[in-house]
Amino acid sequence: MMARVVEFSALGGPEVLNIVEKEVSPPERGEVQIQMKVAGLNRAELVYVAGQYLVQPELPSRLGFEGAGQVVSVGSGVTRFKAGDRVAITPAFKQNAYGVLGTVVNMPESALEVIVDDVSYRDAAAFWMAFGTAYGLLVQSGGLIEGGAQTVVLNAASSSVGTAAFQIVSAHDGVSIAVTRTAKKVQGLKDAGADHVIISDTEDVVGRIMEITDGRGFDIALDAVAGEAGETLANAARFEAIMVVYGLLAGTPSAAPFYSMVSKGLRMTGFHLAWSLLDLPDRRKAAVNHLNDGLARGIYRPLIDRTFGFEEIDNAYRHLASNTQLGKIIVEISE
């Protein structure tokens, strides 16, 4: 079967991406062949194309970590899916061996989840990276509990993970504080569910957090930036707060916040969706059960920033690189 797929043969930015025609072999043992409908874009893919991700691409390389489509056929040993099933693709696969950006792709069965009834391909493609990451960060690593009235601070708040986190915090009766660099996204973040918004370019981040929390400090912080921003955030911790690091937008790690760790008992941990959740059966089951239930009941809904066509894949990634989006960028691949 012939398919059109996104491929890159050199490291760089969106300019190195090409749509090429390739033959797709029948699914091998443990694989599922999928007619792709929609893909969700993620900042990790830009880092991957640049050769700066945790896994190095093997050139020429495929691309795409998340999407949704319909099963065409299954390989031997596949038991959970059959032709005609609607499936969401999570990043529980080797990024240098597979990619979701193509009209037809093969994927390991272990990377797939069933799309629950009445959920569109569009929402399914935009869901798992954002909500899976947010749930893992907040509940499984951060200790968010239902009815705990905890205060959660997050930077890079306009990302799809950030907007998902607002919904999960709210569902657990917590309070969310979003940190953004400029005033441009303040109203959008409030509309997306943030209870409070702090503008880091013009406001004292630590002072505002302490003001909002009546001097107590945050219970949980989600740090996607690191660098000086992460160090600053640690100063607003309450006693035995937890700070979960999951990104490096600053380009440099934070120095260990010695004072907060020793005087306040601040605990710090890291999180990666595949290695900290999807590859661990018990954690994955708990996350899938909770998130699918919330998605089916309409409690959780991904915020879509903008939709691009498959032929516009380079422009879609340029928009992602611009940092102007609020929520998820998706690419429609086929009807």
Q: Pick from 312, 332, 328, 311: which is nearest to 320 by CA?
A: 328
In this prediction, residues 159-165 reach a mean pLDDT of 94
% of the chain at pLDDT higher than 70: 100
What local confidence, expressed as pLDDT, does residue 227 receive?
A: 85
What local confidence, expressed as pLDDT, does residue 64 receive?
A: 97
How confident is residue 251, by pLDDT bands cut at 50, 70 and 90?
confident
Question: What is the H or E stretch that residue 2 is in?
Answer: strand 2-8
Neighbouring residues of 265: CB distance < 8 A, sequence distance ≥ 6: 239, 240
What local confidence, expressed as pLDDT, does residue 110 receive?
A: 96
What local confidence, expressed as pLDDT, does residue 198 receive?
A: 97
How confident is residue 115, by pLDDT bands cut at 50, 70 and 90?
very high
Q: Tell me how far apart the alpha carbons of residues 240 and 242 are, in angstroms, rounded to a whole number.
A: 7
Q: What is the pTM of this model?
A: 0.93
